[in-house]
A and B are shown apart, each in its own frame.
Chain A
Amino acid sequence: MAKRRIAFYLMTVPALLLFFTFHTFPAIQGIFYAFTNWDGFSESYDYVGFKNFVNIFKDENVINSYLFTFKYAIIMTIFVNILSLIIALGLNAKIKFKNFFRGVYFLPNILSVLIVGFIFNYLFSNVFTVWGAKLGSEFLSQNILGNADWAWIGIVIVAVWQGIAFNTILYLAGLQTIPKDLYEASNLDGASKFREFWSITFPLLASFFTINMVLAMKSGLMVFDQIVALTGGGPGRSTQSIALLIYTGGFQGGEFAYQSANAVIYFIVIVVISVLQLKFLQKREMDM
């Protein structure tokens, strides 16, 4: 029996050591540097206590990046979930070429976010503007990514275009878990399609709804690739996400310690939001 136990330890201990070295240790280091004034390359640094944290709450750039990221993540989550639920219902209906359409709708998920961003960057500046001009609208004939007030909408559009794919597949999986006889019964009772959706489909999809909301929100809060490809954080700093700010400030701006403090706050924010979302949505699951 001792030999068996040794084998089990040998299976886990290397992974544990590597995980500690490359995940937990950097995380602890990050928290440690958050209390210093290190710029990332100097020989020495000083311990500054909570100064970085205090300054972050007064930093307009940081506040703006949080506001942008939240606005983006919330709107994106809502649109991705509504649209992917509708598409999943459509793909689950009795339609022609079902497998072909499933293939098409999942396609965006396999493409690189960065390259999709570059492609849409061109579409926004050179294609959608042509259509806008044809419609005779001054607003639609400008490049939305060049407008500080509206650039975030452009990023939402690209994220939704690509994000729908994965959530659709998860909803589709959920729809297949619903027993067919429930619909037969509701048909006999003469329930309308709309009633059927609210009374049967949606409640039984509750756990998939929870997962999709949490996943979409989390990916929204971590947005990075799309921003790099579409706006680089501009115009001005209007689309600078938290992840982008930590990256640029930490690696190029000599703000290693300061952005580490920002990352610690960011971590707490993400955990709190995920836990709240899970609690709220799972409570809803149980009420059903």
Chain B
Amino acid sequence: MRKTTNWTVTILIALGSLLILFPLYMTISIALKNPEEMALSIFSLPTGLHFENFRNAIEATNFFNALKNSAVITIISVVFILLTNSMVAYAIARNMNMKFFKVLYFYFISAMFIPFQIIMLPVVKVTTDFHMNNITGLIILYVVYGLAFNIFVYVGYIRSIPYELEEAATMDGASTWGTYWKIIFPLLAPISATIGILSCLSTWNDFMLPLILLGDQDSYTLPLVQYVFQGQFGTDFNLAFASYLLALTPMVIVYLFAQKWIINGITQGAIK
């Protein structure tokens, strides 16, 4: 195999990446301009750096409140998804010979085929009846809806872990819970990382569930705030783009630091 750099491909890939970067460049530059600068040229770099756009956007959208809501919902959901979904999967994976657990397995994973729209209308009714049309309810729904896909992934992974490890622990007198926490859960770290990343991205960026569930403006998440904001201040583009940029930034920062880890996690999750 040749070890030399393939420059043709490098240049094509670089050109292609401009298509990804251009909309992001536009977002940043519009967020930093004022209407007069926009009138001169939409494409040029901003000359003045109008940080007041950000200040106004933070006020208009109550940004820090939405940021807090998104962070609380995402962090708690992901933690509970990792703790509970893996536990359910463990119980199922180790008892597939029993009818109850086998049925349970197919029951959970069959939900992957059910489009959210079929439960969208009644679920609002159910959560309202339980007074759960709030952040707590949203978190419970994310954890419960994660089961379908996560059990599928976790069960496959757990079945590849040798049973002898647990037998040894049982001989030493460990309970089922003890075996799970001390032996299985740590062994699940690589697949948990992948599931954690995917759940984090989908929860943070989810728009539909908060839209139909959250009634109280104070509990709105970042995407939902952008949606409401767009309807109210749709014509002030500099303000709007400052607001978009603020909403996109937290995940981009996380991504910049954890990029390699995120991409490898998903790549490895796919090969399993």
Contacts and interface: CB of A to CB of B under 8 A. Distances in A.
Partners in one complex: yes
B136 to A, nearest CB: 13
A29 B126 contact: yes
Given A107-B255, A112-B207, A22 B267 contact: no
Nearest to A265: B118
Contacts of B141: 22
Interface string B247-269: 11001101100011011001110
B118 A110 contact: no
A12 B92 contact: yes
Contact of A271 (B13, B14, B101, B113): B113
A7 B176 contact: yes
Nearest to B208: A224
Contact of A95 (B9, B87, B144, B268): B9
Is the contact region of chain B dominated by helix, strand, or loop, or is it mixed?
helix
B263 A106 contact: yes
B65 interface: no
A34 B20 CA distance: 43
Interface string B141-157: 10111010000000000
Contacts of B118: 27, 30-31, 260, 263-264, 266-267
Interface string B1-36: 111111001101110110111011011001000000
A6 to B, nearest CB: 9
Given A12-B104, A23-B111, A264-B118, A7 B177 contact: yes
Interface stretch (A55-63, A141-149, A171-179, A194-202): A171-179
B44 interface: no
Contact of B125 (A29, A105, A176): A29
A21 B126 contact: yes
B121 A33 contact: yes
Interface string A92-107: 0111110101111111
Given A18-B144, A27-B114, 17 more contacts: A7-B175, A11-B87, A15-B88, A22-B127, A30-B118, A90-B16, A96-B10, A104-B17, A110-B251, A110-B252, A111-B251, A113-B205, A115-B244, A115-B248, A127-B43, A161-B23, A176-B267
| 6 residue pairs, one from A and one from B, having the closest CB atoms | A7-B176, A26-B122, A11-B91, A29-B122, A173-B270, A26-B119
22 contacts: A4-B176, A8-B101, A24-B111, A26-B122, A29-B125, A30-B122, A94-B4, A101-B17, A105-B20, A119-B244, A161-B20, A173-B267, A173-B268, A183-B1, A228-B207, A243-B117, A247-B117, A247-B120, A251-B121, A259-B121, A263-B121, A270-B113
Interface of B: 1-6, 9-10, 12-14, 16-17, 19-21, 23-24, 26-27, 30, 42-43, 84-85, 87-88, 90-92, 94-95, 101, 104, 108, 111, 113-127, 140-141, 143-145, 147, 170, 175-177, 180, 201, 204-205, 207-208, 212, 222-223, 226-227, 230, 237, 240-241, 244, 247-248, 251-252, 254-255, 259-260, 262-263, 266-268, 270-271
Interface of A: 3-4, 7-9, 11-12, 15-16, 18-19, 21-27, 29-31, 33, 40, 87, 90-91, 93-97, 99, 101-116, 118-120, 122-123, 126-127, 130, 161, 166, 169-170, 172-174, 176-177, 180, 183-184, 187, 208, 211, 221-222, 224-225, 228-229, 242-243, 246-247, 250-251, 256, 259-260, 263-264, 266-267, 270-271, 274
